[in-house]
């Protein structure tokens, strides 16, 4: 019994790489952004299809799976989460509205390919949306056993306070995530993850690692970070450093903005703006700067030998920041893959059939 997986909305390959690490062969990834192709193919060693999912036909996907008739097909996907994020509760424009439809397109591809196992990763708020409930009902109506839960990433050794919705569905019966591997007593901390990296200044590029770079700071933002404490807020600043929005009642709810992280706990959730000191708690605990590309990649559990770029001229902080921030953490992909692998082996173990992975 051969197993193969295809990853929709694959980006630069965080989920795919994690699935492979768990022993699940990934044969293809699909993403609209062709700039993701180099990183995906170099690291995952699978075909990359630069295609809009709304134009993707199930027949194209079927051709990528193992050709054997007897196999386990896995379809994975993490549709862009902006419409469902707590940071964007309201749909602001037509472009954002279109992203809601991607879940429906994912459902269509499931229907056209009929995989044995389906998995989806997204923001927790998606579970409250009708479109997700309809997706679950569709899976159940088509013979899948479905489970989903909100995962706190530190519970699985991931060094950031990321919360994600993970869905697993199988035609073989009940399926669920493996048990948690960590507790608060042994969470992987920020210092565990990036404490050994060489220091760099704001706007500087590390000589030994061109990926270890961050943006520069304006004079006022340099003064602000100098006045900031680990896990502190802008309330620690003198009045001349505070922004006008801080004086409004709405500003008091965003105390993590312009914040420093702490060495002794997992990092803040890595977003696509982690390199910007003013967009969240992304200040380094000691150095006067925001996170570097390398630090964010490590916090997203990409291995240090992951190939993000072909040459130094291809290192654009804004673009790579989006790819890293949008990625499924590799270790979360590993947890998903391990859960699926154990489920398949358990099912076929009962029928005494060999599983080839």
- Residues 170, 139: Cα–Cα separation, whole Å: 9
DSSP string, 254-276: -TTTT-B--TTSPBPPP-TTTT-
What separation in angstroms does the CA of 172 have from each of 166, 249, 334, 347, 352? Answer: 18, 53, 21, 7, 15
Q: How many helices (H) and strands (E) does the chain have?
A: 10, 9
Q: Which residues on neighbouring strands pair with residue 7, listed in sequence order?
A: 29, 76
Name the residues annotated as catalytic: 81
Please tell me what DSSP assigns to residue 307.
-
- Residues 47, 61: Cα–Cα separation, whole Å: 11
Q: Environment class of residue 47 by beta-carbon count within 10 Å: exposed (0-12), middle (13-18) or buried (19+)? A: middle
- Residues 194, 265: Cα–Cα separation, whole Å: 12
Half-sphere exposure of 158 (CA within 13 A, CB side): 29
The two beta strands, 2-8 and 71-77, are parallel
- Residues 120, 143: Cα–Cα separation, whole Å: 17
Burial annotation 280-301 (CB, 10 A radius, 16+ → b, else e) = bbbbbbebbbbbbbbbbbbbbb
Q: Determine the Cα angle at 74 with ends 76 and 147, to 5°.
A: 70
Q: Helices in the chain by DSSP H: which ranges? A: 14-21, 37-44, 58-64, 94-113, 130-141, 190-194, 219-226, 293-299, 317-326, 330-350
Is residue 31 within 8 Å of residue 9, measured between CB atoms? Answer: yes
């Amino acid at each position: 019994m051969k197993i193969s997986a295809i990853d929709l909305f694959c980006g630069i390959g965080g989920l795919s790489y994690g699935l492979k690490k768990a022993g699940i062969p990934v044969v293809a990834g699909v993403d609209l952004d062709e700039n993701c192709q180099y990183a995906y193919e170099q690291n995952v060693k699978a075909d990359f299809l630069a295609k809009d999912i709304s134009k993707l036909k199930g027949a194209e996907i079927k051709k990528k799976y193992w050709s054997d008739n007897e196999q386990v097909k896995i379809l994975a996907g993490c549709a862009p989460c902006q419409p469902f994020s707590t940071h964007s509760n309201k749909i602001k424009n037509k472009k954002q509205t279109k992203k809601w439809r991607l879940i429906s397109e994912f459902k269509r591809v499931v229907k056209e390919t009929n995989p044995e196992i389906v998995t989806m990763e997204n923001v927790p708020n998606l579970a409250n949306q009708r479109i997700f409930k309809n997706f679950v009902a569709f899976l159940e109506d088509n013979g899948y056993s479905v489970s989903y839960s909100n995962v706190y990433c530190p519970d699985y050794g991931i060094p950031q306070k990321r919360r994600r919705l993970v869905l697993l569905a199988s035609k073989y019966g009940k399926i669920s995530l493996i048990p948690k591997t960590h507790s608060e007593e042994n969470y992987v901390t920020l210092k565990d993850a990036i404490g050994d990296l060489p220091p760099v200044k704001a706007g500087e590029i590390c000589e030994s690692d061109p990926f270890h770079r961050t943006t520069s700071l304006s004079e006022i933002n340099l003064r602000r970070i100098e006045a900031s404490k680990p896990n502190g807020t802008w309330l620690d600043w003198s009045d001349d450093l505070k922004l006008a929005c801080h004086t409004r009642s709405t500003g008091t709810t965003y105390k993590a903005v312009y914040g420093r992280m702490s060495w002794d706990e997992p990092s803040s959730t890595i977003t696509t703006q982690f390199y910007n000191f003013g967009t969240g708690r992304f200040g380094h605990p000691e150095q006067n700067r925001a996170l570097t590309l390398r630090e964010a990649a490590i916090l997203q559990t990409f291995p240090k030998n992951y190939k993000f770029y072909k040459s130094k001229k291809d290192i654009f902080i804004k673009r790579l920041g989006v790819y890293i921030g949008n990625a499924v953490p590799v270790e979360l992909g590993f947890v998903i893959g391990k859960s699926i692998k154990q489920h398949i082996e358990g099912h076929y173990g009962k029928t005494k059939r060999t599983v080839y992975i």
